[in-house]
Amino acid sequence: MKKVKGWLLDTHALLWMLYGDQRLSVPATEAIDGDLLLYASVASFWEIAIKQGSKGFDFEIESTWDESFQIELKRIGVSLLDISVSDCRLVQDLPMHHRDPFDRILIAQAINHQLGVLTRDRSFADYQIEVRW
């Protein structure tokens, strides 16, 4: 495995970081507080919107999350990672270890940008990317 250039936050890790949730693991917190750059994918914002539009989460998210999250991420130095055509193309070639489309695009982005992923989802490691939790 190549050395990672930064950490991509899975959606739950992103939310737990923003809300100071105790479910964020110690190794994930150490990576967040470490020297490597942090990234949040636009795919996570899409996933949040879909979940907020249906069942929501097990904690309250403010109605202006789309604005407040961007402001907070910028304030703490987390870069937003757009979805590229090459990210989408890589999804096609990924083995089907994982079927969730949001997770598959995060995996593709991690591979394309040489990022590790902060996630509790153990199946990410099946893609030969560095996972921390």
DSSP-assigned letter for residue 36: S
pLDDT of 56 reads 81
The one-letter code for the residue type at 109 is: Q
Query: Domain map of the chain by residue range?
Result: 6-132
Q: 65 and 107 in contact (C-beta within 8 Å)?
A: no
Give the pair of three-digit tokens for residue 91.
Answer: 């999804």
Collapsing DSSP to helix, strand or coil, 133 comes out as coil
Q: pLDDT per position in the chain (133 positions), as tens? A: 679 999 999 999 999 999 999 999 999 999 999 999 999 999 999 999 999 999 888 888 999 999 999 999 999 999 999 999 999 999 999 999 888 999 999 999 999 999 999 999 999 999 989 999 9
Residue at token pair 């990410």: 124
pLDDT of 65 reads 95
Q: What is the CATH number of domain 6-132?
A: 3.40.50.1010
Residue at token pair 């902060």: 118
pLDDT of 7 reads 98
Q: Whole-angstrom Cα distance, residue 109 to residue 111?
A: 5
Q: 104 and 11 in contact (C-beta within 8 Å)?
A: no
pLDDT of 22 reads 95
